[in-house]
Structure 1
Amino acid sequence: MSKLPAIFRPAPGSGAERAEQLRRQYPRFVYERFALDRSADTLRVTFHFRIEPDIVFAPETTFSGVDWPRVDSLPQGALENLLFHLGLIETLSYWKATCSPEIRVEVGQLDPQQITWFLDLLRHGMGEFFYVNQIDWRAPEFVRVVASGDARMKSEVQVLRFAQDDKKGNAVGENRRDLVLTSGGKDSVVTLELLRATLSATGRPFDCLLLNPTEAALAVAGRALLHQGSGGRAIRSSKNVGGPIIVRRTIDPRLLELNAAGYLNGHTPFSALLAVLGVTAAAIYGYNRVIVSNERSAEEAGVEYLGEQINHQYSKTLRFETAFREYSRKYLAPPRWCHPDPGVPGEGSALLENTQDDNEGFEYFSLLRSLYELQIARLFAQHSAYFLLFRSCNRGMKSNAWCGRCSKCLFVYTALYPFLEREQMLAIFGSDLFAWEGAAEVLRTLLGLDAHKPFECVGTRDETLAAIYLCAEKIKGQGIPLPASLREIEETILATRRDLPELARSILTAWSDQHHLPLDLAELLRQKIIR
């Protein structure tokens, strides 16, 4: 591995000062090409990026259990187009090191609408990065995208879009089945169990897609597939039978060296990468619906910066989901080759824009879009088989543990407490997190009282308030003294509010018609909330 050039290290100073210095030193980021390496049942794609003049990256993504006859039957250029876009989203993780004012795409061409979509994702999806580094992105020429590649990729996309009209039974459309992006958290559990409940009625089996899976993710997926039975796995390629689909993504170590050397670092829209990865995997493995577990709570921003709402979870929002669906239908997975059978019943979209028609392509949607985190916690509480399997703590991810000290742990603990017994909570988390002396401070942060809302995937401020109220009422109803953390919140906040019973009720029974759910799944989920 080559060492970083010794000619430049950012001078100490604010993020804004370092960004300006880096942008002068490194004026152009280049997406040069990507290379495919095919083995017996593995596809490895290496993306080649360059920050001019002298920093190069070669991150890799590896798909295992590939059935090559299936992949080779895809329309001409389909796989290359999807991988090209996977690399396009991957660029953000490397571009951020220098915030180069130009992103040059040499591997292919992008039309003006594609460039607009990508820049919109960069602006909103990188908002937390801009905020943390105090970077002003508002100048019209802060970053421009130049797609300077030859017409090869563009011509392949055109073939992808307009050929294969009458190719019945091709590799992509032969099975009506779902691919679920799965983590080790409670949201994935609820999605998987909802799909399992519909299997006999819909005949749509599902499988799990895991990226760099944690121990918890493997356990959750394994349990869900075991409960499903052979329905999903039996029709998948024999190379994949017996477990979830696993994809490995490798970060180029040079990026970590840059971080250590003082280059810019921060959050990127990871769920956007997962969206493109999901559609790519669906094409490779033969699925026509990609399902994620992004919830309504993701809509709430954490802080305002330069007149914009900064949302850690932007790529989990409805705005992103809608934009990605539109982009996917036009540029990633057009209807004509994704779904050759026009007569599939029961696939009508929900209420947003009637996006599903009789000639549908890949569908990408969030099953939990209409629900708040607190509602999801109540649904999760019905699935005790997962209590000791799931994990949501980012700090404890590698050790498969709950750290018990972060905002993510405190939020999940608070959200679940009203719906589980004390013994169950202790079995899951190992201790009473409300008894920790720092709990009150973290809860206040979750409420947005002392600082901006944590840059974590947590519920809204109102949800946290409602959950704390429900916890306090439950504990008092059992004749137990409130822990010091809850007592402090009750005395300073709960005691001043008379609307908390109604707030909790309204959140637990809430439903949003702003979603992209198929009607059958929307009705099932709504009935779960009404009960």
Structure 2
Amino acid sequence: MKRTDNQSKFDALREAFSTFTFESQTVKREGGTLSLAFDFNLDDRYHFRPTLEIPARPFFDWDGIPEDQLQALAFQIGMTELVSYWKIACPKKVVVKPYGLTEKQKAFWKKLYYNGLGEFLYLNGISVSEAELMELENDEGIDTLAFPSMSYRAQGASVSMDGKTRHDMPSFNRINLPLEEKTLVPIGGGKDSVVTLECLRNAMPVTPLIVNPRGATLNCVKTAGYNDNEFIVINRTLDPTMLKLNAEGYLNGHTPFSALLAFISILVAFGSRSKYIALSNENSANESTVPGTNINHQYSKSIEFESDFRNYVAENLNQEVQYFSFLRPLSELQIAKLFSECEAYHPVFRSCNAGSKTDSWCGKCPKCLFTWIILSPFLSREKLVAIFGKDLMADESLRPILEELNGTAAVKPFECVGTVEEVRACMKDAGISTGSMTAAFAKVPEPVEGPTVEDILRRFNTHHFLPEPFERILKNHLHV
């Protein structure tokens, strides 16, 4: 993607808009369906009201969650949604009204916003430090100890409680609900979540979760044998005012969607009484998109965010629920090998963002080319052509994308793709053994250094948070 110099626009918007306020949230339980709505206010000039709806399922028990705890779970989702609307004008001050935040909680959110917006800042040519990005403030005078309706306005000094001021204590209640040995698996429609689903569904009770269903996500869960009442659907709606302002030239760009998915998953875990949330983020997601920086398109899929998120949930919400990436020990290459054996999904999976609305492969983007490359050591050219509809290795126009993927270019694509090392190993393997690299790519210098495909397939990264039973299942599928 091309960078744009929007520093002056950023500075001007911060002067024109001083404050972004998280005004309120609404939670409704009706007929087994849970609905959330949030009210964000940009300097009293624009209001944004995004919504989230979770349709009823037989295994949900929303009525069994106390109101104060349900509100606390919803608040975390609102805090994550907030940044998608704040980035329109990037005002220096953000005021949070539903609950008060401790300094440690503020630090968590500010780190997430800054790193999750790394791509947004980079591509917009914006230079700003984490400390300068925003001031995150509680509503003036409000001290909340639990449910928002119990808030009171403090008069004078903060009241001491066990040696701590109320301002130093969490304002939202912890979640105290019994959880069962059940697992949620978010499904994105690509190969990674298919591998997680296939590894786990015959070993334990597993419920797929889909945000804003589309062709590939629905086809994948149905290929796995789930009917409509056996998987979870999340209907997320953006406020149209944001889309209108984007079209008018306000700031726009990537936000940390996987962080939003993380907090939605926590809410759904308690609604379904599921102890485990098994993500499908691989070890490759830790690599920076821009070499030599911390800018990572996949920041909210990284082990750093996973660790921060787990700590935040344990300290502030609940210590029993377990959020982890089942595929964290693996590379994209290892996942591709496992997926190559899941033949029933080959006609229905999709990893192409450009073609997501039409349930197709565009054949022109980094996701398409990377997926072809990473599968090439394990699937024949004929099978790959059947999946993608054409031979991507014969498309000369994809050369610039290949150079970004294999490290010849200065910056990787801002997409969820594997490491430069993996791409180089696949190129070497395909060019030498399978012959699937055509003459169109012969001009790209063949990587001669680095590990081979077989070298990478033998790895198992030990920096992960898999509970022991899940690690054992994964190793069994790898034959380790």
Same fold (TM over 0.5): yes
Q: Residue 31 of structure 2 is aligned with which of 7, 22, 40?
A: 40
**What are the Cα deviations for residues 473-497 of structure 1, in whole angstroms up to 9, with x where unaligned?**
2334xxx8x51233222xx233xx1
Q: How does 1:159-174 map to 2 (within 5 A)?
A: 160-161=173-174, 172-173=178-179
Residue 184 (structure 1) aligned with residue 189 (structure 2):
yes
Residue 127 (structure 1) aligned with residue 118 (structure 2):
yes
**DSSP 3-state at the match of 1:103:** strand
- Other-structure match for 1:517: 466
- What is the Cα deviation at residue 454 of structure 1? 0.2
Tell whether the 8 Å contact from 1:28 to 1:102 is kept in structure 2 after alignment: yes
- Other-structure match for 1:89: 80
Q: Distance in 2 between matches of 1:33 and 1:159?
A: 14
Q: Distance in 1 between matches of 2:181 and 2:477?
A: 25
**What are the Cα deviations for residues 15-54 of structure 1, in whole angstroms up to 9, with x where unaligned?**
1100000000101000000112332232221100001031
Judging changes above 3 Å, is the alpha-carbon distance between structure 1 residues 94 and 510 closer, same or farther for their aligned structure 2 residues? same
Residue identity opposite 1:503 in structure 2:
T
Q: Distance in 2 between matches of 1:471 and 1:209?
A: 35
Judging changes above 3 Å, is the alpha-carbon distance between structure 1 residues 158 and 252 closer, same or farther for their aligned structure 2 residues? closer
Q: Residue 407 of structure 1 is aligned with which of 339, 363, 366?
A: 366
- Other-structure match for 2:432: 473
Q: Distance in 2 between matches of 1:216 and 1:62?
A: 21
Tell whether the 8 Å contact from 1:271 to 1:315 is kept in structure 2 after alignment: yes
**What are the Cα deviations for residues 243-280 of structure 1, in whole angstroms up to 9, with x where unaligned?**
31101000101001111111100111110000000001
Q: How does 1:250-399 map to 2 (within 5 A)?
A: 250-303=237-290, 308-332=293-317, 334-335=318-319, 361-399=320-358
- What is the Cα deviation at residue 69 of structure 1? 8.5
Residue identity opposite 2:309 in structure 1:
F
Q: Distance in 1 between matches of 2:171 and 2:134?
A: 28
- Other-structure match for 1:417: 376
Q: Distance in 1 between matches of 2:68 and 2:9?
A: 41
Judging changes above 3 Å, is the alpha-carbon distance between structure 1 residues 420 and 330 closer, same or farther for their aligned structure 2 residues? same
Tell whether the 8 Å contact from 1:207 to 1:225 is kept in structure 2 after alignment: no
**What are the Cα deviations for residues 68-113 of structure 1, in whole angstroms up to 9, with x where unaligned?**
9922222451110010110000001000001110110011111111
Instruction: State the identity as a percent.
Output: 37
* C-alpha RMSD of matched pairs (Å): 2.1
**DSSP 3-state at the match of 2:461:** coil
- Other-structure match for 1:137: 128
Residue 458 (structure 1) aligned with residue 417 (structure 2):
yes
Structure 2: segments with no counterpart, 5+ residues: 149-169
**DSSP 3-state at the match of 1:47:** strand
**What are the Cα deviations for residues 495-521 of structure 1, in whole angstroms up to 9, with x where unaligned?**
xx1x45x43222111111100001122
Tell whether the 8 Å contact from 2:101 to 2:138 is kept in structure 1 after alignment: yes
Tell whether the 8 Å contact from 1:66 to 1:285 is kept in structure 2 after alignment: no
Tell whether the 8 Å contact from 1:26 to 1:53 is kept in structure 2 after alignment: no
Q: Distance in 2 between matches of 1:387 and 1:298?
A: 23
Judging changes above 3 Å, is the alpha-carbon distance between structure 1 residues 515 and 161 closer, same or farther for their aligned structure 2 residues? same
Q: Distance in 2 between matches of 1:98 and 1:453?
A: 27
Tell whether the 8 Å contact from 2:71 to 2:147 is kept in structure 1 after alignment: no
Q: Distance in 1 between matches of 2:196 and 2:7?
A: 41
Q: Distance in 1 between matches of 2:302 and 2:30?
A: 37
- What is the Cα deviation at residue 159 of structure 1? 7.8
Judging changes above 3 Å, is the alpha-carbon distance between structure 1 residues 63 and 189 closer, same or farther for their aligned structure 2 residues? same
Tell whether the 8 Å contact from 1:179 to 1:208 is kept in structure 2 after alignment: yes
- Other-structure match for 1:195: 200
Residue 62 (structure 1) aligned with residue 53 (structure 2):
yes
Residue identity opposite 1:493 in structure 2:
E
Tell whether the 8 Å contact from 2:199 to 2:477 is kept in structure 1 after alignment: no
Q: Distance in 1 between matches of 2:79 and 2:131?
A: 21
**DSSP 3-state at the match of 2:235:** strand
- Other-structure match for 1:236: none
**DSSP 3-state at the match of 2:42:** strand
**What are the Cα deviations for residues 220-255 of structure 1, in whole angstroms up to 9, with x where unaligned?**
1122244xxxxxx8xxxxxxx633110100010100
Judging changes above 3 Å, is the alpha-carbon distance between structure 1 residues 376 and 45 closer, same or farther for their aligned structure 2 residues? same
- Other-structure match for 2:209: 209
Q: Residue 443 of structure 2 is aligned with which of 485, 488, 495?
A: 488
- What is the Cα deviation at residue 187 of structure 1? 0.1
Q: Distance in 2 between matches of 1:25 and 1:160?
A: 37
